[in-house]
Amino acid sequence: MDLSMGGYGAYVWTCFLMTAVVVIICEWRARLRHRRVYREIEVRIKALGDTQ
Amino acid sequence: MWKFFHQMASPPHFYRIAAKMIPWFMAPALMLIAYGVYAGLFLAPMDYQQGDAFRIIYVHVPSAYLSMMTYMVMAISAGIGLIWRIKLAHAVAAAAAPLGAWFTFLALATGSIWGKPMWGTWWEWGDPRLTSELIMLFLYIGYMALRGAIDDTTKADRASAVLALVGAVNVPIIHFSVEWWSSLHQGPTLIKEGGPAMDPGMLYPLLAMIFGFTLLFGGLLLRRLRAEVLFRERRTKWVKELVLSGGK
């Protein structure tokens, strides 16, 4: 297992690491957006319930 | 068949089904990507010209392929929304755009990093493949900016759909740029006459990464789409009932 990738390690590992970070960001942002929308709806429904 | 599509176009039905479908995309995606990463980094033989630098292909090609495929998904959905006025189609386009932008960014960044040791430069403005891919990133950003600039969802859907459709002309330009014009970028490796020009030991991890990334995109799209549907339907009775029942 040659972690130095024949001298190209910095290029190869940077690309794989960057891809992993982007995938994690995509997943995290998708979950966050759903949670935020859901929470906003929850708050609005509660506010409507309080005024009625 | 039509009944299935009709049901899937119904937001409440889609919202519930999508939640059940996400693990069926994500689990095989993670398995394929885990195999692809391990085999691509440690099992695939070294390239006789590029050495180990060629291993960047295992993240660069899936990202570049997804950047184009996502644009087609976005443009086709936008077209369907524009012609048949299916709300869910516009939601698909809106949910796909940020993913497409991220994958295009990845394709450009990993390509640039790969280019430095192989071509001796991070970027070449005269190269048609690089430039057309950069235009695709601008198209994604433009699409999202246009959506964000219009408060009315229906108007935003229509205006952004036109941009998505016009921009679709860039997809074949990206794909065929290496054949039409002189380019630093290498020619097609996988889709070419006589089959892929790769050793099976290099090819199988690459195919695993491409299928894995496609499934990952499917899972991410469904997750984003659920949020998009919820936002668009926030004033409807079914969403109120959903939230009052604790999301079940």
pLDDT truncated to tens, each residue of chain B (248 aa)? 667 666 677 899 999 999 999 999 999 999 999 999 999 999 999 998 899 999 999 999 999 999 999 999 999 999 999 999 888 999 999 999 999 999 999 999 999 999 999 989 999 888 889 999 999 999 999 999 999 999 999 999 999 999 999 999 999 998 888 787 777 777 777 777 777 778 899 999 999 999 999 999 999 999 999 999 999 999 999 999 999 988 76
> B143-156 burial string, b = 16+ CB within 10 Å, else e?
bbebbeeeeeeeeb
What's the domain range around B113? 24-244
Burial class (CB in 10 A: 0-12, 13-18, 19+), B191: exposed
Q: Return d(Cα B197, Cα B203) in angstroms, integer.
A: 9
Q: Return d(Cα B47, Cα B68) in angstroms, integer.
A: 26
Complex ipTM value: 0.92
Of B42, B56, B224, the CB nearest to A15: B56
B114: in domain: yes
Chain A hits for B98, Cβ within 8 Å = 26, 29
B1: in domain: no
B215: in domain: yes
Q: What is the pLDDT of residue B5?
A: 67
How far does B59 lie from chain A, in Å, by closest CA?
7
Task: List, for residues A2-52, the tens digit of each pLDDT value.
Answer: 888 989 999 999 999 999 999 999 999 999 999 999 999 999 998 887 766
Chain A hits for B109, Cβ within 8 Å = 15, 18
Torsion sign across C-alpha atoms B199, B205, B208, B213: negative
B214: in domain: yes
Total domains, chain B: 1
Chain B hits for A8, Cβ within 8 Å = 51-53, 55, 117
Q: B200-232 and B57-84 helices cross at what angle (nearest 10)?
A: 40
B13: in domain: no
Q: What is the pLDDT of residue B184?
A: 73
Q: What is the pLDDT of residue A48?
A: 83
- pTM comes to 0.93
Q: Which amino acid is at B91?
A: A
B14: in domain: no
CA B39 vs CA B99, B175, B181: distances in Å: 26, 27, 34
> Dihedral, CA atoms, B130, B79, B99, B143, nearest 10 degrees?
70
B16: in domain: no
Q: Which two tokens stand for residue A49?
A: 């319930």
Q: Which amino acid is at B222?
A: L
CA-based nearest residue in chain A for residue B227? A34
User: Hey, which residues 7-36 in chain A have their CB within 8 Å of chain B?
Assistant: 7-9, 11-12, 14-16, 18-19, 22-23, 25-27, 29-31, 33-34, 36
| DSSP one-letter code for B192 | S
Q: Which two tokens stand for residue B96?
A: 């796909």
> Dihedral, CA atoms, B20, B25, B27, B30, nearest 10 degrees?
-150
Cβ pair B106:A7 closer than 8 A: no
Of the candidates B7, B228, B204, B245, which has an alpha carbon nearest to the alpha carbon of residue B99? B228
HSE of B164 in the Cβ direction (CA atoms, 13 Å)?
A: 36
Q: Could you tell me if A52 lies within 8 Å of chain B, comparing CB atoms?
A: no
B98: in domain: yes
Q: Return d(Cα B112, Cα B115) in angstroms, integer.
A: 5
**Mutation choice for B interface testing from A1, A11, A35 by most B CBs within 10 A:** A11
